[in-house]
Amino acid sequence: MSELPRLEVPRALLLRSTLPGLIRDALFDWLGIALCWAAMYWGPAWLYPAWILLIAGRLHALGVLAHDAAHLPLKGNPVKALLFEILAAYPIASTLKALRYHHLRHHRDNGMRWASCCISCHCCTACLQASVRW
């Protein structure tokens, strides 16, 4: 599989995630879910499958956001971390601590010892140790 040269990747995809940005994105996903619920309530029943697929997509997006949060240092923002956890992790039946532990363990054990799992520290072992302390 060939990799896309870094210069061809859209700049918006190369920005670092931040907790406030992830909270904003989670709220936007919840807005989409609420609009789908409203459409299901007031719209015709034959469109239910479309609304269900859109809601499933937004729930998956919450999981992607939670994945991004697993790579962030959350220790200094306990209120924002809890808000994000309520918005994105709980709806997918997880917690940030569990996501962080399992995801970073996956990076550690995937056979790519020197692979960069985390933009902020570039070291899976350090990330895993930090997740245990968090």
State the average pLDDT over residues 62-88. 91
- Residue type for 73, please? P
Q: How far is CA 7 from CA 12, 17, 122, in A?
A: 12, 19, 21
Q: Confidence band (pLDDT; 50, 70, 90) for 117?
A: very low
Mean pLDDT of the chain: 81
User: What predicted TM-score, i.e. pTM, was given to this entire model?
Assistant: 0.75
The more confident residue out of 105 and 22 is 22
Q: How far is CA 17 from CA 5, 30, 42, 119, in A?
A: 21, 19, 36, 9
